[in-house]
Amino acid sequence: MQNLIAFIRRLRFLIVFLLFQFFVLSLYVTYMSTPRSSYFTTASFISGSLFEIRHSISQHFQLEENNEHLQKENIDLRKSSSLFLYNTRHSALHAADTIYDQQYDYIAGTIINSTTTKRNNFFTINIGGIQGVEKGMGVFSSNGVVGIIHNTSEHFSVVKSVLTKNINIDVLLTEVGASGMLKWDGKDPNVGNITGISNDIDIPNGCKVITRGGSGIFPKGIDVGFVKGVKTIEGEASWHIDISFSQSYASLENIYIVKNLFLNEFNKIQN
């Protein structure tokens, strides 16, 4: 205690000087409008910057959680859409919930490895047999069709993407009602091809392309792309149609696996 008193006594002039400085500065800021506004503006700017930095950091750490939440919401919306349900009373004029059965189920996943520059490209995803993924199931994103499950393990799966030589997905050109098969020539990862459409059908540029749903792998209505150009094939009665994919596969991350709950019945009647 004696040491503290001695210390204060030794610095008493400096302490008194600092107190007077603080008092004078407070009066100056309080009664002079320009310094006062400058002070509060600076303080607000600093506080706002700090809040913005904190918000950016929190958004970064919550990004994965937010993506998972968004995927779950998308699955719920697709399950409730009549486009992805099976109508048990096709003759009914008024569609109520009781006349629909759930035909498709969905599993959310994330791509952890991918290629887009090879002749045959595959994606590896972070879900597998434990989550119910099976070979032959369709894969799509919020922007469009992605591919078909090629192989699975317990925790991972390999997707045969639309950017492969022997991909065969039945598609529909909405404006003209014509159907064909989606192909890829191995050149541009942003451009696909459609075969099997007669050249006596007028195909306009910009025509929307969706999945037809005829194979039982995908429901009808998933985006594929838009017609980019149409050319004749010498000696054949069908068009060569180029389309711009609606999904950029180089930047693809979040995907959905689609499971047709009626697939066994569908395959049985087809066979």
Whole-number pLDDT of residue 206: 94
Whole-number pLDDT of residue 97: 40
Q: What does the buried/exposed string (b/e) look like for 192-213 if buried means 16 or more CB atoms within 10 Å of the residue's CB?
A: bbbeebebeeebeeebebbbbb
What CA–CA distances, in Å, run from 60 to 52, 53, 63, 111, 158?
12, 11, 5, 19, 28
Q: Which CATH code for domain 105-270? A: 2.40.10.340
Chain length of the chain: 271
Enumerate the CATH 2.40.10.340 domain ranges in the chain, comma separated: 105-270
Distance in angstroms (rounded) separating the CA atoms of residues 134 and 171 = 22
For residue 125, which phi and psi values (nearest 5 degrees)?
A: -120, 160
Whole-number pLDDT of residue 15: 73
Give the chain's residues under pLDDT 50: 29, 33-52, 54-55, 59, 62, 82-98
Distance in angstroms (rounded) separating the CA atoms of residues 1 and 9 = 12
Whole-number pLDDT of residue 64: 58
Q: What is the pLDDT of residues 221-247, one digit of tens each?
A: 999 999 999 998 888 889 999 999 999
Q: What is the pLDDT of residues 172-217, one digit of tens each?
A: 999 999 999 999 999 999 999 999 999 999 999 999 999 998 888 9
Residue 119 in tokens: 């002749």
The answer to whether the beta carbons of residues 258 and 106 sit under 8 Å apart is yes
Distance in angstroms (rounded) separating the CA atoms of residues 3 and 143 = 75
Whole-number pLDDT of residue 269: 85
The residues pairing with 114 across neighbouring beta strands, listed in sequence order, are 123
DSSP 238: B
Whole-number pLDDT of residue 42: 39
Whole-number pLDDT of residue 5: 67
What's the predicted TM-score (pTM) here?
0.65
